[in-house]
Structure 1
Amino acid sequence: MAYVRKDVSRLTRTERRRFVEALLEVKRRGVYDEFVRLHIAHFVGDGDRGLRAAHMAPSFLPWHRRFLLDLEKALRRVDSSVTVPYWDWTRDRRATGVPWTDDLLGGNGRPGDRQVMTGPFAYRGGDWTIRAGVSDGVFLTRDLGRSRGPIDLPTKSDLQQALDDPVYDVAPWNSTSQRGFRNKLEGWGRGRDSWRNHNRVHRWVGGHMVGGASVNDPVFWLVHAFIDLQWQRWQQRHRKHRYLPARPPGKDSDQYRRIVARHQKLPPWDVTPDDLEDVSKIYRYA
């Protein structure tokens, strides 16, 4: 029977506590840091050599869908009642509201070093030390809204522009693709004002959420659960359209062996994007 992922603003007090406690236990067991390391290892950009699976590529959505499922399995091994909630940033837009409350993710970072001082993931509480990252910092950081050069969260209209595109992705299958649902949702473009949807949310949260070590902030999972929900909504709206490319680019393409086609294995798992298109038997969204 499929379990349910809920809007974080609709979790009961008990559901909030159990979700947080499960995250902290996964961290104590050393498992959480392995998720951080895995994401860093697969944070490969257009300018890097080799296969791009997690970002700037068609497999952005199935890669993170499987990544979420693995974290969810780890949480449910601790507490079988727990699922990953999603944060609807088109509605809950205040830096002092959900999910930034003391009983959930805690608040913003303090001025200066941007260290998160409140909530269960504050370093001073002793339960959330950063051990895997791209710097030597040991405490979680945030800069909600960007104190220097403020930006707003994406709107419903921003999401709608992505959802309205019936084509999943288009050549050149990277961060420069101007059409296609995938990149309109992932949000790559040129210049500061071109950050859209997923990318804009990461920038708005700031701190650890900017870069490959973004998994160190538990809000990562809530953001990607909402992104995953958008993929599901797009699938329901455009039933005749599927993941692209269906076949890998040929040797004459600069994307040869750089992206994952529909029936190719999605590293580091023994699974394909095709396998991950229908998850209705595993979970659903409330």
Structure 2
Amino acid sequence: MAADPRFVAWAAALEGHLDRALPPADTAPRRLHAAMRHAVLGGGKRMRALLVYAGGTLLQADEATLHAPAIAVELIHAYSLVHDDLPAMDDDDLRRGKPTVHIAFDEATAILAGDALQTRAFEVLASATVAATLRVDWLGTLAQASGAAGMCGGQALDIDATGSRQTLDDLQRMHALKTGALIRAAVRMGALAGAADAATLARLDDFATALGLAFQVRDDILDIEASSEQLGKTAGKDVAQAKSTYPALLGMDGAKAKLAELDALMREALAPYGGGADALRALGELAIHRAH
């Protein structure tokens, strides 16, 4: 995914942890278990899990402590993609370069797989061998990020806005919930493992908020400039569905200027932490410059 050896090592370790966190495909109900594994394993940027590790590294958290929240955010992310791709939502048939779950299996199985991935994420956190106070903080952080005040709320706003022109403020609010909430949660959960104080958590929230918006701005640009093969999902869907995007509202030059603005905000938020924040900085740069 990236040249930084830490990212390569974290992503490789995570793949094994995710494999073990999921039910075996050869145990009943086999179709459900196979669909869950199809949704999670063997693809994706793992950005949110890497943010957990990077946030924890900033606070010198024990890396072994970070596996549970990294697994949990990836399971929540995968569940959201399964449901987003359904015909009732974005109606897409390609994700991470392979058929979406409802295409590879069926709609009912996709709904159940998403439900099961969501609940498995909280089970992983609830059973983590850490202090009870940290488990509760993790559970609360992830629940807020994935509920009506986070991803689900953002998706509802996205559905409501389809076919209409949003203001820039409305677009940013929608993406702060739909995309940004889980990114903020990932950074915060890593930092909580390192016993971050309130001031540090607030500064990291500022970083993650800018990162979440940057990720979406770049996504909107790639939807226009990249091919389906590059993206691993259907290109041009935003235009086809008449969705408001940053290029649509700001023009392509304006959207790229917005990216530069968000890059500066990320750098400013991390400035007090010196080299300790290098992993977070690198992930911010990755969000800005990624090609898929």
**Which TM-score band (shorter chain)?**
0.3 to 0.5
TM-score (norm 1): 0.33
TM-score (norm 2): 0.32
| Greater RCO, CA 8 A, separation 6+ | 1
Q: Where is the helix percentage greater, Structure 1 or Structure 2?
A: 2
